[in-house]
Structure 1
Amino acid sequence: MPSTRAIRPSRRAAAVALGLTAALGVPAVAHAADPLVWWEDGEQQLLGRTPSGGMPNGVASEPTFSHDSRNNRWIAFTSTATNIDGPVAAGRRNVYLVQRGGAIKPWANPWQYGSTRLLTVGRGGAPADGDSWGPSISGFTGPKDKPEEARIVAFVSTATNLVRGAGDGRTPRAYVASVRGGGMRLVRAPGWVTGVEVSADAQRVFVTTTRGLYVETGRRVRKIASGSGMAHPATTTRGYQVAYERRGNLYLTTVASRRTVLLGPGTDPDVDAGEPNGPRRGFVRALTFSRDGGAFRMSFSGSRTKIEQFGVTQTASKVNSGGSTTAFGEGRQVRLQVRLLDGGDYGGYVRPQGVCPLGQGDVTSVAVSTRYNYTAFTCQGGGLFGFYVGPYE
């Protein structure tokens, strides 16, 4: 796992506590009209864009990275726009994929926009006739830091024309599509779907419905927890454990044993990639969540559980694959707080790592890449932006 020492000090004035990195010089402010913007030109970019590079005519939300090491080749998001890629019906939410372009180097060079593709296309090329939302994308870091690229995207939709014979136009269902295009299928979990999450290795798909928590493995669906009111499933790379929210409380289920533990009050859980070694291999090490306007992280070490609040927020908080970094929105700003799981060294950022431009309002949702080299975030004004946190030595 990288530490905050790995961030090039010449590009970022980063940590303030415990001496992980000194607060060094910050590049000259390039946008004096906005006092929050401290970085050089080109380090923040519009990711949700029209073919000509302009701001779309709808609202973007729910960005998520593929966690393929530092490649982070894909970002999935939801938008109501009609002028990003087509065909789409006016007033509908659709799921899109942004592909990274340009050269990708091992130390995490700046993320360069490549292209955008509409994922939720109806049969025969028709616009989807229902809303689609809540994307989850695979992709993980293999041995020796090898990027294992994303294969599938899962999402929720009320559309009836995505696959043959699916949907009634009212009941949300879970779908899985190929990242590269050319394949979409229904996940046959019973009930009204409230959330979906794929394991990073693309082997398991978790679905929360009005009837319980389900997992699909090899196209076979089975229930692993019963009850109504579940939402926001989040799982590790191999899908050994899954967290979810139920009526304002957080739960964690171990898939093999179906053992479920109540963690406490909170909403919108997100989890790390899982313990890489030892008897707890694949188990959650860190879980971020929101509660009473705060961004929290819960970390697990053997039988010990530690809860920390890292800031105030109006968004769901997110965690990187290593479990070290909590990302959240604080007004117009994207905040990153870094606390290493091994040793607890702390490296909170004194500067925002992304800012909604003037006129775009506050941050509405955030995402953080595998090694916190990049953030992606949406704003009240509808924009989806990406920010370059910095490379590694």
Structure 2
Amino acid sequence: MSFAPQIKVPATYLRGGTSKGVFFKLDDLPESAQVAGKARDQLLLRVIGSPDPYGKQIDGMGGASSSTSKTVILAKSTQPEHDVDYLFGQVSIDQAFVDWSGNCGNLTAAVGSFAISNGLVDAARIPENGVCTVRIWQANIKKTIIAHVPVTNGQVQETGDFELDGVTFPAAEVQIEFLDPADDGEDGGAMFPTGNVVDTLVVPEIGTFQATFINAGIPTIFLNAEDLGYQGTELQDAINSDVEALAKFEKIRAYGAVKMGLIQDVAEAASRQHTPKVAFVSKPQTYIASSGKIVNASDVDLLVRALSMGKLHHAMMGTAAVAIGTAAAIPNTLVNLAAGGGEREAVRFGHPSGTLRVGAQALKENDQWVVKKAIMSRSARVLMEGWVRVPADSF
């Protein structure tokens, strides 16, 4: 019996924010995977090590969590006034599919540095010393993101003293601007798809909840922690070890997705795991973060816990942070009320790993709330570069 040899595909393994992913240049992929479709999905599944019934992704680059089961494909931008096209694929751990329905805000922090280091940004736009402004076209959601990447001696600077809760070591700060982060109506309606800042969500056999549905950064369903029977101070084990709780959250997510217009039937949610997200909020409280650090109630404006790919996230997804900042800026959303109400341009929230600050400016145009920009800081670092190997007959 003969077996197919392994092939080598150029790749870089990067940390961006509190996530890790395998980055590819589009033209480095095998020809059949340079276009969207089955071959591309199968290649990325094999790279990451999915589907894995053991849930560990031992035979791939994935790290057995939603934060580490990620892929990115980059190319010189086809859009005017942009440097790089950024396509994100969230790889399922235990199922054979790649979800292309949304962005990864954390890995966005690494897109600019990869683009600079791999010749996707014109050399004339890269300073010898200073900050390089990388104009990113986020192809999944068709939005512009601006990354401000520090450069020293013509090279991306990755080391520094910027600390990010959820990341062990300090690094260089990368400021990210999400321009016009709210949905433009192409997928599930406007920023508030129901037209309301607070709705009633009825979930059969689970309950009736107040909810804020928002399309900003990533489609997100916000609930009150108290309505779910939680305090808002929970860490991962409190949720992820509770099978019934996870099933309840998934059912809430499915019914919320229908209400947001993202899917037509709750059964479709199983093949759209990346979006929408579900998060629950509460007023400030003192708690002990997963690192053992005490987060005092006085340190934050509110607490937020969010689920990604069916599990409570260890920190906070970058795109969900955009949703949090946007919702906090708009009076009377559940996020805004948990933060004390009123109008605000920035919010600091507590998550399982610590705290995060995100800014957003909201204003009314034609009696509709709009947000022109959301801003936050992240960091990024190359962990390994070279090639990934996959069996030639796997895609």
| TM-score of the two chains, using structure 1 as the length reference | 0.26
Higher helix share: 2
| TM-score of the two chains, using structure 2 as the length reference | 0.26
